[in-house]
């Protein structure tokens, strides 16, 4: 049940879902470190309410004891996790909200373990409005020991945070959820 060491949280992936999540983390009093990608508008808006912009994944990894990822795909996610684990202090926590395949999250977990870091998958249910309103759902795959830290960190963003089992289970549950949503549509 190791909690995060300090209130300094990195957030990588300030896009459609990430911007609302980051906004809610700032409202909850977190010291939030972000970086811009191609679209500067979300980062500028977050800076106006207290976020601190850093220029790279390396800088965020060196500054923060916890980092939330909300990236567009598994290949970017794998590369980002490798960069973080090469630069973050041992014991650091990565909460990965990217919608990944099960193989990616298993590889990320192994990479983190080799660097004495903690990895949690937490793909999201909901959309842009739920992100803004702090009403997302988090489908969590992690060890029981890490779940309390995940709940504490994601609670400003999510009104439902459920552990589905160890790493790999959340990716599978998200896939089923997506199939059900597409079938309903």
pTM of the model: 0.92
* Average pLDDT value for the chain: 91
Judged against a pLDDT cut of 70, whether residue 11 lies above it is answered with yes
Q: Which two tokens stand for residue 180?
A: 């059900």
Closest CA to 124 of 76, 83, 161: 161
What pLDDT, in 10s, does the model give residues 66-116? 999 999 999 999 999 999 999 999 999 999 999 998 899 999 999 999 999
For 22-48, the pLDDT digits (tens) are 999 999 999 999 998 888 999 999 999
Q: Rounded CA gap, 155 and 13, in Å? A: 18
DSSP-based helix, strand, coil % in the chain, nearest 5 = 45, 20, 35
Active site residues: 174
Q: Which residues contact 181 (CB under 8 A, 6 or more apart)?
A: none
């Amino acid at each position: 049940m190791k909690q995060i060491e300090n209130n300094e949280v990195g957030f990588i992936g300030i896009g459609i879902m990430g911007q609302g999540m980051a906004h809610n983390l700032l409202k909850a009093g977190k010291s939030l470190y972000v970086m811009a990608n191609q679209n500067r508008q979300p980062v500028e808006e977050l800076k106006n309410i207290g976020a601190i912009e850093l220029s790279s994944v390396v800088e965020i990894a060196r500054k923060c004891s916890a980092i939330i990822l909300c990236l567009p795909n598994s290949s970017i996610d794998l590369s980002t996790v490798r960069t973080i684990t090469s630069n973050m202090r041992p014991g650091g926590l990565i909460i990965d909200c990217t919608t990944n395949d099960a193989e990616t999250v298993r590889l990320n977990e192994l990479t983190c373990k080799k660097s004495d870091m903690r990895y949690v998958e937490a793909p999201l249910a909901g959309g842009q409005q739920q992100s803004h309103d702090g009403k997302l759902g988090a489908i969590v795959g992690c060890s029981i020991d890490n779940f309390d830290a995940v709940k504490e960190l994601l609670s400003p963003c999510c009104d439902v945070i459920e552990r589905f089992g160890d790493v790999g289970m959340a990716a599978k549950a998200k896939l089923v959820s997506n199939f059900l949503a597409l079938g309903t549509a």
